[in-house]
Amino acid sequence: MHRAARIDDAFLDWRARRGRRKGLQAAVIPYTGYGSTTWVRVLARVLLVKPDVAQTATPVQRVRGWRSFTSIPVVAAEVTITVGTETHVVKADRGGVIDARIAVELEPGWQQITLQAEDSRPVVENVFIVDPEVRFGVLSDIDDTVMVTALPRPFVAAWNTFVLDEHARTPVPGMAVFLERVVRDHPGSPVIYLSTGAWNVAPTLSRFLTRHLYPSGALLLTDWGPTHDRFFRSGRAHKANNLRRLAEEFPQIKWLLVGDDGQHDEELYGEFASRFPTNVAAVAIRQLSPGEAVLAGGRSKPEEHESKIPWVYAPDGAGMLEQLDDIGLA
């Protein structure tokens, strides 16, 4: 294991022992999951919180902003997941994150599961079950795609973690209408928001998306800190791995991939489209303004894409919607 990871583990262990002595208790912070009629991907995080927070029905509302970043994860916590009459026990990773696929039988559409860690109060979370007949899905980036970040890219993660408030962020013009229209035209489509942001800000991002009427969907974020072989986690690898996983989990679905031209989305989506051409319906890229492009460290240059997959470019959701409408996808 990387030395940084060993140091991080020792520090987390010290914080956990100190927190337990102060009376902190484990609580599950659930995140929206997704799945098929035979399995579900459960996403959550287990943190040490004050006893009154641990016993509330919605601890997620009480852990936010910089407090979420400084909260203490419960390493290797055991979480009991109840789906209908079935129960499953899963274990958190070294960051307290639950990312588990469990075998269940559920009807298509929005369903609910219950999660509980140690003696905390059970919490209920939604999961979206994809109908086997569905052939279309939407996957979207967040920063500078649905939410205007307007910050130098190296500062985005820190800003989102320490400062971010859903009331202070600005949605990209027309993007909520664009995504809602696409989903409405393709009933039953799963919606996935894929970002390099930390799990710490998932509650805030969820509130932002809800407040600005973006379609409901699962958030796929990452965990800060060193891995077993790296000092910092690779955000690019996080996105690439989840794209590949979605293609493997839903081989019948063609995804509309939505991102921006601030350096990496085009390249990632292009690589994915080359490797899994039957899993991409189209790629929609939001063109950053000159000021946003400077802060993002430049923008990628639109290239001639050799595949037959449609690529559309526009500075806002209205422009994307118009172009996708022309090719029959909206």
Given CATH 2.40.110.10, say whether it is the number of domain 136-326. no
pLDDT tens, per residue, the chain with 330 residues? 556 567 666 777 778 788 878 889 999 999 999 999 999 999 999 999 888 777 776 665 544 455 555 678 898 999 999 998 899 999 999 889 999 999 999 999 999 999 999 888 899 999 999 999 999 999 999 988 998 875 555 565 555 555 555 556 789 999 999 999 999 999 999 999 999 888 888 888 898 899 999 999 999 998 765 444 444 556 789 999 999 999 999 999 999 999 999 868 999 999 999 999 999 999 999 998 765 554 444 455 555 566 689 999 999 999 999 999 998 887
Residues of the chain with CATH 3.40.50.1000: 136-326
Q: With contact defined as beta carbons under 8 Å apart, do 33 and 218 qualify?
A: yes
Fold of 3-129: Immunoglobulin-like (2.60.40)
H helix and E strand count, the chain:
10, 16
Q: Would you give the end-to-end CA distance of the chain in angstroms?
A: 48
110 phi/psi in degrees, rounded to 5: -80, 125
Residues of the chain with CATH 2.60.40: 3-129
Q: Angle, to 10 degrees, between the axis of helix 175-185 and the axis of helix 317-326? A: 30
Distance CA 62, CA 180 (A): 29
